[in-house]
């Protein structure tokens, strides 16, 4: 489930599925979409009849985090994905892509408070945010190749924009995981805090502090930062989504996910 709270202008979204390390099941993605749509409506954006004068600046920023101390979001739900074909995988990725674009396009700052694992879809969710804060126990990575697929929720696109092409290629092609200090060194996260509680508090405090600034100026800054990208995000996401979906017509995808669920080493054949 998704928990939400609005206090002193800080809208906190908590992915609460601790029994699965807060993995992004299709149901969780749909709940997140509903929450972000509600925020868009509150801020007066995202719909054809939206008007800047409708903006309710009672929300000055958003914090996204995960329930508990072990995981922000451990990744997408492998059990749900195992039996997908390319068509259903494309639909799944499109819903997730739309969600991450909605998050990125909110006119208020969005902070990811990463407490533990942020792997695969979890890292992709974090990278849709404007700023990533991490606790010391945070672990980041895009390990999809070990499952016979590629990142499908924005990893191939946004990771390059966070840490550059060389670092993104290394993490995506090797499936390597990095800790919070390494993520800080590479520029993936803005700051590291000693505990999950501390990182959530830091993100909350950051939103409260920026409330002293012009909300219109912040919204405009976000808009300009997005425009200066070399490639429009939706075009890049479409290319990644097509590659992700193609993986679901392979034997390697079936083997990789079956091995993960069975807690055994995968035997890939390249088919």
Active site residues: 124, 144
Cα separation values, 55 from 36, 46, 58, 82, 219, Å: 15, 11, 9, 42, 11
Pairing type for strands 110-114 and 61-66 reads parallel
Assign 73 to helix, strand or coil: strand
Let me know how many helices (H) and strands (E) the chain has, helices first: 11, 10
Q: Which residue, 207, 189, 194, 203, is CA-closest to 132?
A: 189
Sort residue 118 into left (φ over 0), alpha (ψ -120 to 50) or beta.
Answer: beta
Q: How far apart are CA 70 and CA 58, in angstroms?
A: 31
How far does Cα 256 stand from its chain's mean position? 22
To the nearest 10 degrees (0 to 180), the angle between helices 155-163 and 233-246 is 130
**For residue 140, what are the β-bridge partners?**
118, 178
**Could you tell me the two tokens for 17?**
């599925």
């Amino acid at each position: 489930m998704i928990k939400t709270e609005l206090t002193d202008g800080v809208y906190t979204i908590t992915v609460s599925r601790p029994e699965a390390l807060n993995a992004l099941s299709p149901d969780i993605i749909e709940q997140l979409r509903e929450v972000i749509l509600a925020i868009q409506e509150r801020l007066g954006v995202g719909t054809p009849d939206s008007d800047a004068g409708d903006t309710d600046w009672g929300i000055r920023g958003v914090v996204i985090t995960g329930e508990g101390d072990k995981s922000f979001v451990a990744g997408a739900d492998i059990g749900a994905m195992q039996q997908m074909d390319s068509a259903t995988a494309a639909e799944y990725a499109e819903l997730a892509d739309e969600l991450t674009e909605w998050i990125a396009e909110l006119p208020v700052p969005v902070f990811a408070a990463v407490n533990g694992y942020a792997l695969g879809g979890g890292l992709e969710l974090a990278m849709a945010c404007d700023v990533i804060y991490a606790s010391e126990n945070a672990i980041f990575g895009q390990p999809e190749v070990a499952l016979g697929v590629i990142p499908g929720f924005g990893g191939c696109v946004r990771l390059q924009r966070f840490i550059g092409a060389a670092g993104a290629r290394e993490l995506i092609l090797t499936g390597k995981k990095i800790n919070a200090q390494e993520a800080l060194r590479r520029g993936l996260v803005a700051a590291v805090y000693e505990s999950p509680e501390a990182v959530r508090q830091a993100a909350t405090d950051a939103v409260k502090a920026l409330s002293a600034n012009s909300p219109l100026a912040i919204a405009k800054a976000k808009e300009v930062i997005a425009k200066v990208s070399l490639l429009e995000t939706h075009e890049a996401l479409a290319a990644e989504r097509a590659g992700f979906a193609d993986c679901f017509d392979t034997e390697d995808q079936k083997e990789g996910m079956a091995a993960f669920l069975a807690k055994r080493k995968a035997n890939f054949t390249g088919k």
